[in-house]
Amino acid sequence: MEDFEKALEQFDYEFQRGQVVQGKVISYETDGAFVDIGAKSPAFLPLQEASLRRITDISLILPLNEEREFLIIKEQDADGQVTVSLRQFEIKQVWDNLADMQSSNQSLQVRVTGTNKGGVTVDVQGLQGFIPRSHLAGRDDLESLKGSTLTAVILELNRDRNKLVLSNRLATRSVAFSQLEVGQLVEGKVSGIRPFGVFVDLDGTSALLHINQISKNYIESLPALFQVGQPIKAIIADLDEGRGRISLSTKVLENFPGEMLENAATVMAEAGSRQERARKMFQ
């Protein structure tokens, strides 16, 4: 019974797996370091658990007697010693930080590390994430994205499955929308012509100039008025960030009904001076 009681005394049951503890390195070993966390026995920090990055010398990142926080990853062994991790603590902090960023729809910078048929893999503060091809602003040459930095927002976060999916397209759109307002005069290029209107490229963001917003007069043929690649100025008539829609208008720049049909060049040339009058129509 006495031997059993002595054996129990070696264990400190206030230190449990998953617990964050304060500690400081008191000595180094070839395969790790011993850490004083206030337990009966020093905790052990394995070399591979010392950092998110691959290291060979713990002393370079953890000086002796420097107070740090560690995560207990293995409960006490037969000698009453727990195993701690700085790497797992840092990973937990990153996941917590990313969860906060997701809830506030905050964008972040990620680095492209690889590609596959579905999209690109990215480094997200030391964790691996994935951006599907459909959520990339530029989808054509994925290989050219390797090593580049992209702005992204988090689509899906599941730390239990180690799953992190992001969107570059939505982040880019959000930045674009933050720089726009209804009544603003913008410049772009015609990127497509459809029976219902003209699509306009605004520095990578697509907007629509609906046929009803081109002129106050009836339009018979859009291809007769516009060509793909043609520069165009227009007033923002409506913004819907949730649906990613920007609506434009040129008819509010007309001095008389049909001016866009008769003399579009004059409307474009004088768009700047006509902007204030057009803006008042949306106030």
Domain ranges of the chain: 2-90, 105-174, 182-280
Task: Look at residue 260 and tell me whether its pLDDT is greater than 90.
Answer: yes
DSSP string, 57-88: -GGGTS-TT-EEEEEEEE---TTS--EEESHH
- Report the sign of the C-alpha dihedral through residues 213, 219, 220, 222, in that order: negative
Residue 79's pLDDT band (cuts 50, 70, 90): confident
Q: What contacts 154, CB < 8 A, 6 or more positions away?
A: 98, 101, 102, 108, 164, 165, 166, 167
What is the structure's pLDDT at 8?
46
Share of the chain above pLDDT 70, in %: 95
Residue 171's pLDDT band (cuts 50, 70, 90): confident
What is the structure's pLDDT at 242?
73
pLDDT digits (tens, 9 = 90+) for 172-192: 877 778 788 999 999 999 999
**CATH class of the 2-90 domain in this structure:** mainly beta
State CA 134 to chain mean position distance. 15
Distance CA(7)–CA(63), nearest Å, equals 33
The pTM score is 0.61
Query: Any idea of the CA torsion for 12, 14, 17, 21, to the nearest 10 degrees?
Result: -110
What share of residues in the chain are helix, strand, coil (percent, to 5)? Answer: 25, 35, 35
β-bridge partners, 163: 158
Fold of the CATH domain 105-174? OB fold (Dihydrolipoamide Acetyltransferase, E2P) (2.40.50)
Distance CA(135)–CA(244), nearest Å, equals 13
What is the structure's pLDDT at 177?
81
What is the structure's pLDDT at 169?
84
Q: What is the mean pLDDT of residues 96-120?
A: 92
pLDDT digits (tens, 9 = 90+) for 151-168: 999 999 999 999 999 999
Please say whether the beta carbons of 142 and 133 come within 8 A: yes
What is the structure's pLDDT at 2?
58
Task: Look at residue 257 and tell me whether its pLDDT is greater than 60.
Answer: yes
Hey, which CATH number is domain 182-280, 2.70.98.10, 2.60.40.1840, 2.40.10.10, 2.40.50.140?
Answer: 2.40.50.140
What is the structure's pLDDT at 4?
45
Token pair in block for residue 268: 């474009």
Confirm whether 2-90 and 105-174 share one CATH topology.
Answer: yes
Token pair in block for residue 6: 């002595």
**Whole-number Cα distances in Å, 241 to 57, 185, 229, 236:** 49, 18, 25, 13
pLDDT digits (tens, 9 = 90+) for 3-45: 545 544 555 557 888 899 999 999 999 999 999 998 888 999 9
Residue 77's pLDDT band (cuts 50, 70, 90): confident
CA–CA–CA angle 218, 276, 243 (5° rounding): 65
